[in-house]
Amino acid sequence: MPNTKFLLAEDRIPTTWYNVIPDLPGGLPPMLHPGTKEPITEADLEPLFPAELIAQEFSTDREVDIPGAVIDIYRQWRPAPLIRARRLEQALDTPARIYFKYEGVSPAGSHKPNTAVPQAYYNKRAGVERLITETGAGQWGSSLALACSYFGLACEVYMVKVSYQQKPYRRGLMETFGASVTASPSELTAAGRAALAADPDSTGSLGLAISEAVEVAAASGGSAKYALGSVLNHVLMHQTIIGQEALLQMELADDYPDIVIGAAGGGSNFGGLALPFLREQLGGGRSVRAIAVEPSSCPTMTKGGYEYDFGDTAGLTPLTKMHTLGHDFVPPGIHAGGLRYHGMAPIISALKEADLLEARAVPQTACFEAGVTFARNEGIVPAPESTHAVRAAIDEALKAKEEGAERSILFTLSGHGHFDMQAYIDYFAGKLQD
């Protein structure tokens, strides 16, 4: 019987991350200072990040060593399995071979710890005592909480108020890992107070929570730094461990993907899978169709402009050139909280402009339908974010069937939906809107 799972031994965890920047056609437009509008320097970022992460953000090295202490933690769940979705293939009666890289095996349930762990590590090494961050649905907050507990750092999470109220269990998870969680907007920051003054009933937004977290870190005098869970170059680089493992695992499966697919919020999950495959292509190896999937209600890549914009609502962050719906765009309250972001990683945006990836927008009910099909065949209930990749993978498999074409499809199942069951309940009750 051929294998269903393609597992790698721990000693095959990649020892370097892949930095795509030197391979980007045309390079990456510089970040600009929010005040001067001049290209920022490493020094400009010092209030927010430790030196090693800043160096990574600007690095033009193609490969960056993964510290041993980080690998020792990755070992707890990595290499993450690559699984052939044989039952789903049968149910779809498709000639396509469908594989998924399952990042939900991480302790926080998503790909986010891949970057949370090194971020906590570099901060710890730099003598930082507290990490401050924001979280929407809670995947990133719980990942950073976990990483901080590994390294003995305090962790403070500004959680978008609507999620804080609707997702007490994600909050419970962060607290179990030892973090403190504050509903955003809060009275603790100028940005929060301004938002509450404008609207005392504000339920918050990710952009606003970022403003709060950045403000607290910047004002700490160095004892606290800020951590971001997506978008930035160093975050995408950390996530390339996904695709690098997948390359080895596709070899084990004696196959190679024609198509790679990932849900894209800020772009790190999609990039994590796709970048190592694009590297092969750019280096003259096999080419691959890379499909980044976003919600049609927050169509950053498919409808947003490619321009300089802020990462947060208050305009405290540097300006980055990216696909954006505008930093004051407030996305509708879809369940895929991790995809409700107005911008997109500069790296992913640049690849899109260079026609090295396809962007696709899908409506949420079609995603949940795909998620339920996946759950009933593969057993795993996908996170709402991940259902976007499942939808695209199923659509590609059905297209292969229509065309009678054998085809190999690989997607990241970026997380499980154990903390998102309300979304499925609402879906079954017919309460979801597109």
Ligand X SMILES: Cc1ncc(COP(=O)(O)O)c(C=O)c1O
- Residues in contact with a copy of itself by CB under 8 A are 1, 3-5, 7, 9-11, 68, 71-72, 75-77, 83, 87, 105-109, 113, 146, 149-150, 168-169, 172-173, 175-178, 372, 375-381, 416, 418-419, 421-422, 424-425, 428
Q: Contact 43/51 with Cβ under 8 angstroms? A: no
Please give the structure tokens belonging to residue 354. Answer: 């260079």
118 binds, among ligand X, a copy of itself, none (CB under 5 to 8 A by kind): none
Q: Is 86 exposed, middle or buried (0-12, 13-18, 19+ CB in 10 A)?
A: middle
DSSP H/E element including 157? strand 154-160
The answer to the question of residue 269 lying near ligand X (CB under 6 A) is yes
First-residue to last-residue Cα distance in the chain: 42
Cβ within 8 Å of residue 68, ≥6 positions away: none
Residue from 192, 204, 265, 304 touching ligand X (CB under 6 A): that is: 265
**Is the Cβ of residue 8 or residue 350 nearer to a copy of itself in the bound state?**
8
Q: For tokens 């490493």, name the residue.
A: 42
Give the x/- contact pattern for ligand X in 218-257, rule: CB under 6 A.
------------x---------------------------
372 binds, among ligand X, a copy of itself, none (CB under 5 to 8 A by kind): a copy of itself
Residue from 192, 204, 267, 346 touching ligand X (CB under 6 A): that is: 267
* 3-state percent breakdown (helix, strand, coil) of the chain, nearest 5: 45, 20, 40
How do beta strands 16-18 and 97-102 pair? Answer: unpaired
The answer to the question of residue 263 lying near ligand X (CB under 6 A) is yes
**Is the Cβ of residue 48 or residue 348 nearer to ligand X in the bound state?**
348
The answer to the question of residue 174 lying near ligand X (CB under 6 A) is no
Stretch of 84-92, 162-170, 265-273, 277-285 contacting ligand X, by CB under 6 A: 265-273
The answer to the question of residue 414 lying near ligand X (CB under 6 A) is yes
Q: Answer left, alpha or beta for residue 134, where phi above 0 means left and psi between -120 and 50 means alpha.
A: beta
**Is the Cβ of residue 177 or residue 270 nearer to ligand X in the bound state?**
270
Residue from 119, 320, 386, 408 touching ligand X (CB under 6 A): that is: 386
269 binds, among ligand X, a copy of itself, none (CB under 5 to 8 A by kind): ligand X
230 binds, among ligand X, a copy of itself, none (CB under 5 to 8 A by kind): ligand X
The answer to the question of residue 133 lying near ligand X (CB under 6 A) is no
CB of 97 to ligand X, least distance (A): 23
Q: Which of 1, 8, 21 is nearest to 279 (CA)?
A: 21
How do beta strands 289-295 and 16-18 pair? Answer: unpaired
**Euclidean distance between CA atoms 373 and 377, whole angstroms:** 6
Query: How far is CA 134 from each of CA 144, 158, 313, 333, 405, rounded to the nearest angstrom?
Result: 10, 4, 13, 17, 44
Q: For tokens 């606003």, name the residue.
A: 208
Binding site for ligand X (CB under 6 A): 110, 139-140, 230, 263-270, 338-339, 383, 385-386, 414-415
